[in-house]
Amino acid sequence: MSTDLRRLRLVAPVAVAVALGVLAPVAHAAPGDTHTSLVRDIRPAAANSFPAELTVAGSTLYFQANTPVLGTELWKTTAAGVTSLVRNIEPGSDSSSPRSITPVGSSIFFAAGQDRELWRSDGTPAGTRRVRNINPAGDSAPTDLVDLGGTLLFSAVVGADQELWRSDGTGPGTVRVKDINPNVNSSPSELTVIGSTAYFRAFDTTGSRLWKTDGTTAGTVRVQNVARFPQHLTAVGGKLYFAAQDPTHGEELWVSDGTAAGTHMVRDIALGASVASAPTELTAVGSKLYFSARDTGGDRELYVSDGTAAGTHRVRDIDPAASSSPTGFAALGGTVYFGATQGGDTELWRTDGTAAGTVRVKNINASGSSSPVDLTASGGLMFFRATTPAGDQLWKSDGTGPGTLPVNPNLVTSPTELTDFQLSLYYAATSSQYGIELWRTEIEQ
């Protein structure tokens, strides 16, 4: 055999092996994998820009952030990942501190300025302006902003009178809807939209009652005069659920279809006028309402309701020895995630609405409670902040124990303002290199 032929036989397997190595598939990210990165170091070095008020409006994420030169002002991040100042509303280093950022159509409304008034922005400096000086004698302090069919409804103060207002984004189109209580403040709050109607709590001449409005003076009326101190207003389909009191019962779960006759207590969960179930954490999941409530013996557990007495019941007695006190409800598909206590240990739980389907997801902190908070669904996963021996960290869960894991635990800590945007999770978090800044965790689909 020639020397050249022997060389060819030796080289060929190596060449084939190299070729196969090049063509062999490389490892790819799997669905549910996450990648975390800094969005922008708004306040360079380890100083803090304190991002807050994260609000999604279409393809833009708005928020407030602080720098020594600009103060606390309105910023934005686009779907393309560009983060920039919208406008320095208060000149120099003074802060406008925008809050209650609310999308309406292609714009956002918010309260801002050292003279707290209503502002509007289309995301450009020129398109960011004060709508109206509602209270020339002081702050109008707009709160409870909601979008009702393209019109902004909100609560505002003029003089010493806090009432319901509306705005179309112009000065002349920003007017008081109705003086609900001519004697004192009606203090409208918890504005909740269902279709073409906004429900809210107001103090009228009979006390704290449930009201509704279509945005007009004539269409702003009290729903009924029986339920007192309505709170936790929550829309489920075409119904409004809330907690309220009446002269016969303690604070219980109520439902309303917007009429006096269709507004009634759902069920007296804690029997007797001196005992209250005090529903909290009202959360809509499809056509059902999930909530936390106490029974007659004072045991606070997980409940579900379809709006009828028969269909309102405890899902599971999670902690037979004490209250499980479920909190922080958030839905992912038809599953509800929440924090609950069993045997003194507060961990992550999930439920499908049945006793058998209500289970602890994982014992995240084996040496104590992980106390999950800020539960937020994004990209098919549930994210939350949990306490571990290493500190407060960002975690993710697919609903299974093995699929419940920390997200880059050595990169950032103390996540807040968790917000779903463009199939990614945005949040403020702390790092040793950048301080408190805006971060993003992308989720593989």
* pLDDT at position 32: 86
Task: Tell me if 404 sits within 8 A of 398, measured CB to CB.
Answer: yes
Percent of the chain with pLDDT over 70: 94
Q: Which amino acid is at 18?
A: V
- Which whole number is the average pLDDT over 407-422? 95
pTM of this structure = 0.91
Rounded CA-CA distance 210/256 in Å is: 10
Confidence tier at 28 by pLDDT (50, 70, 90): low
Mean predicted confidence (pLDDT) in 177-194: 95
233-262, pLDDT tens digit by residue?
A: 999 999 999 999 998 999 999 999 999 999
Window from 17-21, 282-286, 366-370 with minimum mean pLDDT: 17-21
Confidence of residue 275 (pLDDT cuts 50, 70, 90): confident
Tens-place pLDDT, residues 64-110: 999 999 999 999 999 999 999 999 999 999 999 999 999 999 999 99
| The pLDDT of residue 46 | 85
**pLDDT over 70 at 17, yes or no:** no
Q: How far apart are CA 312 and CA 288, in angstroms?
A: 10
The answer, yes or no, to whether residue 127 has pLDDT greater than 80, is: yes
Q: Is 259 exposed, middle or buried (0-12, 13-18, 19+ CB in 10 A)?
A: exposed
State how far the alpha carbon of 10 is from the alpha carbons of 2, 20, 380, 384, in Å. 13, 16, 52, 57
Instruction: Give the DSSP H or E segment for 10.
Output: helix 3-23
- State the average pLDDT over residues 32-40: 94
Q: Residue 18 — very low, low, confident or very high, per pLDDT cuts 50/70/90? A: very low
Give the β-pairing of 280-285 and 288-294: antiparallel
Q: Which tokens go with 421?
A: 């945007």
Q: How many helices (H) and strands (E) does the chain have?
A: 1, 36
DSSP 85-146: EEE--SSTT-----EEEEEETTEEEEEETTTTEEEEESSSSTT-EEEE-S-TTS----EEEE
| Whole-number pLDDT of residue 245 | 96
- Are 325 and 312 within 8 A, CB to CB? no
What distance in Å separates the CA atoms of residue 42 and residue 74, rounded to the nearest whole number?
Answer: 12
Closest CA to 255 of 190, 199, 336: 199
- pLDDT tens-place string over residues 358-395: 999 999 999 999 999 999 999 999 999 999 999 999 99
Return d(Cα 180, Cα 186) in angstroms, integer: 6
pLDDT at position 307 is 97
